[in-house]
Amino acid sequence: MSVTTDLEPVGFDEALTRYEPVFGLEVHVELGTATKMFCACDTTFGAEPNTQVCPVCLALPGALPVVNATAVESAIRIGLALNCSIASWCRFARKNYFYPDMPKNFQTSQYDEPIAFDGWMDVEVDGETFRVEIERAHMEEDTGKSLHVGGSTGRIHGASHSLLDYNRAGIPLVEIVTRPVVVPGDKAPAVARAYVQQLRELILALGVSDARMDQGSLRCDVNLSLRPAGTETLGTRSETKNVNSFRSVERAFRFEVGRHASLLDAGRSVVQETRHFHEDSGSTSSGREKSDAEDYRYFPEPDLVPVVPDAAWIEELRGTLPEQPSARRSRLQADWGLSDLDMRDVVGAGALDLVAATVEQGSSPAAARKWWLGELARAARERDVALDELGVSPTQVAEVQGLVDAGRVNDKLARQVFDGLLAGEGSPEEIVAARGLEVVSDDGALGEAVDRAIEANPDVAEKIRGGKQAAAGALIGAVMKEMRGQADAGRVRELIIERLS
Amino acid sequence: MSDPGTSAGITRADVAHLAGLSRIDLTDEELDRLAPQLAVILDSVATVSQVASQDIPPTSHAVPLQNVFREDVVRPGLTPEEALSGAPLVDQQRFAVPRILGEEA
Ligand SMILES: [Zn+2]
């Protein structure tokens, strides 16, 4: 177990006064191919244990692997989208280790010949752009899932044992590794988080994976070291695993900075080890030390021939790339006519895709932005959920705005329509009907209310007669109050001016 | 690291290390006997580099093939019964193995 738990972690801000963090991120993306990396087994998530296995992924004698063409294409497209060079010739390698999650006793991976290398991704935080350099993206296979059974329920004479399901063994993975990243320390955790967020956006836009952190199809390891401020040599790093949400990336980062700082302050050294992040406490605990056991004795996989993508294939795949997220943001900002600050608010609120989809459904950009960042953002905060988990769709928001544009509801009534949507009362039309929210623009009803308002406010009426049309606001307010906000304000103004001129 | 009694290729400590990685339990006597034998084998293989000059790339495959791919189409594999038929112990339709200590789930 860890020898470091006796030290109280130093506060993040305090740590930054003495140390500079250097971090790297390793992201594993489980590809969404129909079959495994080296065999034709089904990859559908959630099947009964050991129902998606064959002699290849169980490593039965004589079985031979064959590479999945779509997985290679996906890996190349990820590499191209990350501005990487694509290897003109590369091989798979055996990473040898004894652990029951791989029945072969090795994982087929790539070692010194990754399919993609030397790329970058620009990450935006608070309107500032930081370039994260990509060292490599390589192909490999996932491992099986172990279920650890305690002694009391075990059948091996009371001893604990592990139960293995190999459905996941052999599912294609692409591992994306950054170079060490150095950015101002106070920004670093947010840059790490934004990188993973943007990388996920890119993976989704490429359509190569569902990239669900909660189901493990996108997994992140945070490597972190500290060095005394103003020095250049890299310190000893820890590798934190189990970082399964964007928020956890930031929390794990900050925790490790504090832990490393407390060790270095006490004159102790950081142990190079794997650590596990605990979502509940926001802390990390020691996994295993990097030692002889990490001597993987890689060698070229003799059962698989080299992958040699020709230039024509690479260019064909380049032609299938989606718009870069950063380019898309710039384009949308220009289309919507937003200032940098306004755009930053939209992105920061996680509303970019929602606003874009609402605009696609016919809403004006200003209205779409107003609803998502106003009414709906408030509702999301109250419920402590993300905007896209609120249960209100861009189509519904566009429908509500359509009602506003048609003059059938005003902004105030629209808020009540959103209340109805959040309460699951049906479509905007149904809510307007059920709650009786439609504005009254019928001259008969409005005229009577206007007459009463004029009668009740003779001094205001006199001002308007005298040419002060701005004074009409007070009468409009009185009419709105009487009609519980459901009057057509534009028509009310016209009726007032008609009567008093 | 150098170990008297063996050639430059492989030391007794190297052999002990490799045996550990391979989960092979070797006695001191076996290490004494095997280390020099392995050294002889390595030395013999090393003579290849005397004839292979810099312009000859290392070979990893015996057959000059590349880009052997498979379409991404599912084919039926084994049933769970077939898959588990050779397992020493089965529990909950899974392969049961001794738990590896010192590892977290
Ligand atoms: Zn298989």
User: What pLDDT does residue B1 have?
Assistant: 40
> Rounded CA gap, A171 and A169, in Å?
6
For residues B80-98, average pLDDT:
95
Q: Which domains can be identified in chain A, with CATH numbers?
A: 12-296 (no CATH), 325-435 (no CATH), 443-500 (1.10.10)
> Rounded CA gap, A368 and A354, in Å?
8
In Å, what is the CA distance from A362 to each residue of A75, A359, A388? 36, 5, 19
Report how far apart the first and last C-alpha atoms of chain B are (Å, whole number).
Answer: 36
Q: How far is the CA of A427 from the centre of ligand 1 (A)?
A: 46
Q: Check B95 against A164: CB less than 8 A apart.
A: yes
User: What pLDDT does residue A401 have?
Assistant: 95
> Rounded CA gap, A266 and A271, in Å?
14
Q: How far is the CA of B22 from the centre of ligand 1 (A)?
A: 25
Highest-confidence segment of A134-138, B15-19, B96-100: A134-138
CA A423 to chain centre: 26
Instruction: List all residues 6 or more positions away from A240 whose beta carbon is below 8 Å from its beta carbon.
Output: A221, A222, A223, A224, A252, A256, A274, A275, A276, A277, A284
Would you call A417 helix, strand, or coil by DSSP? helix
For residues A152-169, average pLDDT:
72
Least Cα separation, residue A340 to chain B (angstroms)? 44
Q: How far is the CA of A44 from the centre of ligand 1 (A)?
A: 13
Show the tokens assigned to A304: 């698989």
- B33 and chain A: CB distance < 8 Å anywhere? no
Size of interface A-B (CB pairs under 8 A): 147
pLDDT per position as a tens digit, A6-44: 688 899 999 999 999 999 999 999 999 999 999 999 999
CA A28 to chain centre: 14
Q: Which of A123, A135, A213 is nearest to A177 (CA)?
A: A135
Q: Which of A401, A300, A160, A293 is nearest to B59 (CA)?
A: A300
Mean pLDDT of chain A: 90
Model confidence band, residue B101 (pLDDT cutoffs 50, 70, 90): low
Residue A109, beta-bridge partner list: A93
Q: Which of A240, A256, A244 is nearest to A196 (CA)?
A: A244
pLDDT per position as a tens digit, A421-436: 999 999 999 999 888 8
Model confidence band, residue B79 (pLDDT cutoffs 50, 70, 90): very high
In Å, what is the CA distance from A108 to each residue of A111, A139, A274, A475, B1? 10, 9, 21, 78, 31
Show the tokens assigned to A418: 């959103």
- Using the predicted structure, report yes or no on whether residue A201 has a pLDDT greater than 70: yes
User: What pLDDT does residue A141 have?
Assistant: 98
pLDDT per position as a tens digit, A336-359: 999 988 888 888 788 998 999 999
pLDDT greater at residue A288 or residue B13: B13
- Using the predicted structure, report yes or no on whether residue B55 has a pLDDT greater than 90: no
What is the radius of gyration, based on Cα positions, of chain A?
A: 30
- Using the predicted structure, report yes or no on whether residue B102 has a pLDDT greater than 90: no
User: What pLDDT does residue B8 have?
Assistant: 55
Q: Edge to edge, what strands does the sheet with A93-96 contain?
A: A106-109, A93-96, A299-300
> Rounded CA gap, A60 and A80, in Å?
36
> Rounded CA gap, A419 and A423, in Å?
6
For residues A471-476, average pLDDT:
87
Which of B 48-87 lie inside 8 A of A, CB atoms?
60-61, 63, 65-75, 77-80, 83-84, 86
pLDDT per position as a tens digit, A375-397: 999 998 888 887 888 889 999 99
A464-468 contacts: CB < 8 A, separation 24 or more?
A: A464/A496, A464/A497, A464/A500, A464/A501, A465/A500, A465/A501
> Rounded CA gap, A292 and B72, in Å?
38
Which of A 273-332 lie inside 8 A of B, CB atoms?
276, 287-288, 292-293, 295, 297, 299-300, 302, 304-309
Would you call B97 helix, strand, or coil by DSSP? strand
- Measured from the Cβ of residue A67, the count of other Cβ atoms closer than 10 Å reads 20
User: What pLDDT does residue A290 have?
Assistant: 58
User: What pLDDT does residue B53 have?
Assistant: 76
pLDDT per position as a tens digit, A102-147: 999 999 999 999 999 999 999 988 878 999 999 999 999 999 998 8
Model confidence band, residue B29 (pLDDT cutoffs 50, 70, 90): very high
Convert A213-234 into a string of H (helix), E (strand) and C (coil): HHHCCEEEEEEEEEEECCCCCC
User: What pLDDT does residue A149 have?
Assistant: 80
Q: Check A39 against B77: CB less than 8 A apart.
A: yes
pLDDT greater at residue A180 or residue A441: A180
- Using the predicted structure, report yes or no on whether residue A2 has a pLDDT greater than 50: no
Q: Check B95 against A39: CB less than 8 A apart.
A: no
In Å, what is the CA distance from A85 to each residue of A134, A367, B11? 10, 42, 40
User: Which amino acid is residue A400, in one-letter code?
Assistant: V
Closest Cβ opposite residue A287 in set B70, B71, B104? B104
- Using the predicted structure, report yes or no on whether residue A51 has a pLDDT greater than 50: yes
For residues A440-459, average pLDDT:
85
- Using the predicted structure, report yes or no on whether residue B38 has a pLDDT greater than 60: yes
- Measured from the Cβ of residue A473, the count of other Cβ atoms closer than 10 Å reads 13
Q: Is the ipTM above a cut-off of 0.90?
A: no
Block residue for tokens 């002694």: A151
Q: Which of A196, A191, A195, A194 is nearest to A211 (CA)?
A: A196
pLDDT greater at residue A389 or residue A265: A265
- B103 and chain A: CB distance < 8 Å anywhere? yes
